[in-house]
Amino acid sequence: MRRAQASIRTRLFLWLIGVLILLSMLMLFELQTRARIVANESYDRVLLGSALAISSRVFIVGDELDVDIPYVALEMLSSEAQDRVFYQVTAAGGQFLTGYDDLPPIPPNIKINSEQPVFYDAVYHGEKIRIGAVNRYVASPRLSTRFTVKVAETTDARSALIQEMLAGAVVRQLALIFVAGLILWFGVSWGLKPLLRLQAALQRRSPKDLRPIEHKVPAEVQQLVDAINDLMARLSQNIETTHRFTSNAAHQLRTPLAAIQMQTELALKTSSQEDLQNRLEFLRQSTRQSTRLVNQLLSLAKATPDETATDFEEINLVALCQSLTSKLVPAALDKKIDLGFEDQSDAPIILGHQDLVEEAVKNLVENAIAYCPEGSEITVRIKQNDTDAIIEVEDTGLGIFEDQQEKIFERFNRGNRSDGDGCGLGLPIVKEIIERHKGNIVLTKSSKKGTLFALFLPIA
């Protein structure tokens, strides 16, 4: 038994929630990037203010630079996160003036000038820091030179701000996913109600109720309902055909079996040897007729079209028909009938079930032998056209009445051939076999006054 797959509701819900979670993660990633930019812009302005405050207190005293650090500039950087603050002032050429002499230098890829401050990240004594630097020009009557002021702080406050912004966003996203999940679950459930009503209606049906489904369903499901209705119509037709076939078969079997029973009882009561021989002969004929009927019923059941058949193989029709004709020659000779074989083809190959194809040709030839009078001719002939291999069975017998030709392929219909021990199943068997092989059977009048059956089978 196959394992049941997840319900449509669950699959749709998980798919939609999965997409929503993915979008939320992308939004959080974008928010984290944006939060880092916002935090840097905010705290970088404070760094710049401190650096500018220090640069305003750099003077030329004599022939040297002197720095008077305004500690209010460093107090501007104080925060609740207790970030540590560092500064450095250097003269032109990198000469150290004051502050922390081992602050990380400006990276080579960053150019600093007097117009624009620069900011960069670095690691100082194992801690992440953010550094802001400005380059200024100072002059006196005796000296003019440039100097650089760097102010740095650890990034705890920045990180705390980013985490706070992200935490709020995560809470909002989780709330959004939860609410959206509820809406999706109930929305999908509401959308599936027509399918649930359809399921309930089908479960209430009797196994014999094969009427079309007339429930209103969404447009996306209508094609499925149409396919089910088509299947039920074909199934109903198949059941009706099977029921009719079973009834006809029972009727056909009842007659010879009743005759066998009656003749057996009479044979047991008779004292005449001649009468006993006559009744035994009748029993022999009735038994042969019943055996032929049962065999043909089995052949018909085997020949019923099965679209899932996978036992087809390549068949050489010339070899098959030539061999079959040879096997049936003795039966034809018993009735003084000339049975022959002609090959007018290029040895066509078809795909099919060899036993069934042989059964179809055999039924046609045996019918011809059974119903043709003595001295008749029967020819099995192989032809072909661009698409089909053609098997012809032609005889010079009495033919089939025109008013019976349309009914000759109906089961248990014997047409104008009421004599013999036939049961009206031979030609229906042939038709079933040929249709199973996607072929066609055509009945025409022979040029030799008899009957010609042509079987058309697609060439492989």
Q: Is the pLDDT reported for residue 220 higher than 80? A: no
User: Among candidates 402, 387, 390, which has minimal Cα distance to 453?
Assistant: 390
Q: Is the pLDDT reported for residue 190 higher than 60? A: yes
CB distance 395 to 377 below 8 Å: yes
Cβ neighbours around 174 below 10 Å, total: 12
Q: Is the pLDDT reported for residue 414 higher than 60? A: no
**Top-tier CATH class for 219-301:** mainly alpha
What is the CATH architecture of 310-458?
2-Layer Sandwich (3.30)
The pLDDT of 396-417, averaged and rounded, is 67
| Residue 445: strand pairing partners | 451
Task: Report residue 243's pLDDT band, with 50, 70 and 90 as the boundaries.
Answer: confident
Q: Is the pLDDT reported for residue 8 higher than 80? A: no
* Distance in angstroms (rounded) separating the CA atoms of residues 41 and 51: 15
pLDDT at 207: 80
Q: Is the pLDDT reported for residue 296 higher than 70? A: no
User: 148 or 239: which carries more pLDDT confidence?
Assistant: 148
pLDDT at 382: 95
Q: Is the pLDDT reported for residue 2 higher than 60? A: no
The pLDDT tens digits for 194-216 are 888 888 888 888 888 888 888 77
Q: Is the pLDDT reported for residue 102 higher than 50? A: yes
Quick one: tokens of 25? 């993660």
Mean pLDDT for the chain? 83
pLDDT at 88: 93
CB distance 88 to 76 below 8 Å: no
Residue 326's identity, in one-letter code, is S
Q: Is the pLDDT reported for residue 257 higher than 80? A: no
Dihedral pair phi/psi, residue 159, rounded to 5°: -60, -40
User: 249 or 458: which carries more pLDDT confidence?
Assistant: 458
User: Among candidates 350, 287, 282, which has minimal Cα distance to 317?
Assistant: 350
Q: At what angle do helices 317-334 and 354-371 cross, to 10 degrees?
A: 30
Q: For the chain, give every residue range classified as CATH 3.30.565.10.
A: 310-458
Task: Report residue 268's pLDDT band, with 50, 70 and 90 as the boundaries.
Answer: confident
* Distance in angstroms (rounded) separating the CA atoms of residues 441 and 390: 10
DSSP state letters, 390-452? EEEEEE-S----HHHHTTTTSTT--TT--SSS--S-HHHHHHHHHHHTT-EEEEEE-TTSSEE
Q: Is the pLDDT reported for residue 308 higher than 80? A: no
Q: For the chain, give every residue range classified as CATH 1.10.287.130.
A: 219-301
pLDDT at 251: 61
Q: Is the pLDDT reported for residue 446 higher than 80? A: no
Decide: residue 122, CB within 10 A, 0-12 exposed, 13-18 middle, 19+ buried: middle
Task: Report residue 422's pLDDT band, with 50, 70 and 90 as the boundaries.
Answer: low
The pLDDT tens digits for 336-384 are 999 999 999 888 899 988 888 988 898 899 889 988 999 999 999 999 9
DSSP state letters, 211-280? PPP-----HHHHHHHHHHHHHHHHHHHHHHHHHHHHHHHHHHHHHHHHHHHHHHHHHHH---HHHHHHHH
User: Among candidates 151, 146, 158, which has minimal Cα distance to 118?
Assistant: 151
pLDDT at 307: 47
The pLDDT tens digits for 9-62 are 788 888 888 888 899 899 888 888 888 888 888 889 988 988 998 888 888 887
The pLDDT of 113-136, averaged and rounded, is 90
* Distance in angstroms (rounded) separating the CA atoms of residues 301 and 290: 17
- Among 73-77, 82-86, 161-165, 354-358, the range scoring the smallest mean pLDDT is 73-77
pLDDT at 378: 94
Global confidence as pTM: 0.48
Quick one: tokens of 300? 């018909």
CATH 3.30.450 is right for the domain spanning 8-163:
yes
pLDDT at 458: 93
Q: For the chain, give every residue range classified as CATH 3.30.450.
A: 8-163
pLDDT at 208: 80
CB distance 423 to 352 below 8 Å: no
pLDDT at 129: 94
pLDDT at 1: 46
The pLDDT of 213-240, averaged and rounded, is 83
